[in-house]
Structure formats: structure tokens, C-alpha cells
Amino acid sequence: MTVILIIVAVVVVLVIFLALWVMGLYNTLVRARNFYRNAFAQIDVQLKRRHDLIPNLVETAKAYLAHERETLEAVIAARNSAETARSHAAADPTNGGAINQLAGAEAGLGGALGRLFAVAESYPDLKANQTMMQLSEELTTTENKVSFARQAYNDAVMKYNNLLETIPTNIIAGMFNFVTAASFEVSDASEREAVKVKF
């Protein structure tokens, strides 16, 4: 009788230990997922600020760049596309497709802004405009913040994805349907350069 009680006690202790171990791994995965979601929220804040600055920048440039309407329209179209992609990605940062679309839209916006600033270089009055200089400075600061936020997000995604791919957390991740997170990557080397804002 005592042998049976000892065996039952050992089984109960093992079951409790196993349950606590599974809960610990599950909680580790949840914390990592929440950490990378929060990191994306920081990118979202900076991208929203960037997207809000661009219409003011275009309005300021519009008076000086009357002959560059196509460039201005391209910037606004790229901004609108990036804003739409940002809102989709913000709605579900676990959606890798939305994150990849956002990265592509941001690359397009960066290219359009680069063209705008290249054109603006040939307009001395625009370069000297106080509002344009102030907006350019704010945009430069925001670009730096976006870069730092993207780096923090990618670090958080890497830690989360490492948990999903390593034993024993990969077993728990599979049981509870945790999915791999997508990094916020630029797709080619020309897009890796920050937007140059010079006035």
C-alpha cells in the first residue's frame, strides 16, 4: 500500500513539475511576442510622424516647385501608399505579409523623398525657406528614430524567432500555434541608405 502511495505521489509531483515547466515556456513565448509587438508599436509611432510631416513638406515645396508637379505627386502617392501599409501592419504586427508590404512601401517613399530633395537642390529660394529647413530637420530626426526603432524591432523579432526554433520552446510554440515573426527589412542595397535631407 505504501509503495502505491509513493508511486502516486511521484507521478503527481512529475505531473505538477511538467505543468509548471510548460507554463513557464508558454509564458516566455508570450513575453517575447509582446516584446516584439511593442517594438513594432515604436516603429509605428515614428512612421506616423514621418507620414504626417510629408504633406507639410510638399505644401511648402509646391510654391517653389511649380514645374515639378510630377515629383510632388509621386511623393504624395508614395506617402499615401506607405500610410496604408503602416495602418495594415499596425493592425496586426504578427502578419509577415503586412510587414513586408510596409517595408516595400517605405522603400518607395524613401526613393520619392530622395528625388524631391534632389530636385529641391536646384531651387535656392526653397533651400533658404525657414519652414522648409525646419521640416527637413524634423524629417531627418524622424528618419534617425525610425532606424533605431527598426533595429530594436528586428532584435526583438530575432529573439522571438530563436525561441520558436530552439528546443524545448519550439515544442510548446507548435502546440499553441505561435508563428514566426517577420523582420522589417529593406530589400536591396540602394534602399538601405537613409533619405538625405540637406538644406
According to the model, what pLDDT value does residue 187 have? Answer: 61
According to the model, what pLDDT value does residue 82 have? Answer: 96
According to the model, what pLDDT value does residue 62 have? Answer: 86
| Cβ-contact 121, 127 below 8 angstroms | yes
Domain boundaries, the chain: 48-192
Average pLDDT rounded to a whole number, residues 29-58:
95
Give which of 79, 184, 198 is closest to 140, Cα–Cα.
198
**pLDDT tens digits for range 171-199:** 999 999 999 999 998 765 444 454 555 44
What pTM did the predictor assign? 0.83
- Percent of the chain, pLDDT > 70? 93
CB atoms within 10 A of CB 184: 22
According to the model, what pLDDT value does residue 65 have? Answer: 83
Average pLDDT rounded to a whole number, residues 66-93:
93
**pLDDT tens digits for range 109-119:** 999 999 998 88
Average pLDDT rounded to a whole number, residues 9-28:
96
- Residue 162 pLDDT exceeds 80: yes
Most confident of 64-73, 134-143, 182-191: 134-143
Average pLDDT rounded to a whole number, residues 22-34:
96
Who's near 97: CB < 8 A, 6+ residues apart? 182
Gap between the Cα atoms of 58 and 183, Å rounded: 30
Listed range (51-55, 89-93, 118-122, 180-184) with the worst mean pLDDT: 118-122
Q: HEC string of 149-179?
A: HHHHHHHHHHHHHHHHHCCCHHHHHHHCCCC
- Residue 66 pLDDT exceeds 70: yes
According to the model, what pLDDT value does residue 185 have? Answer: 84
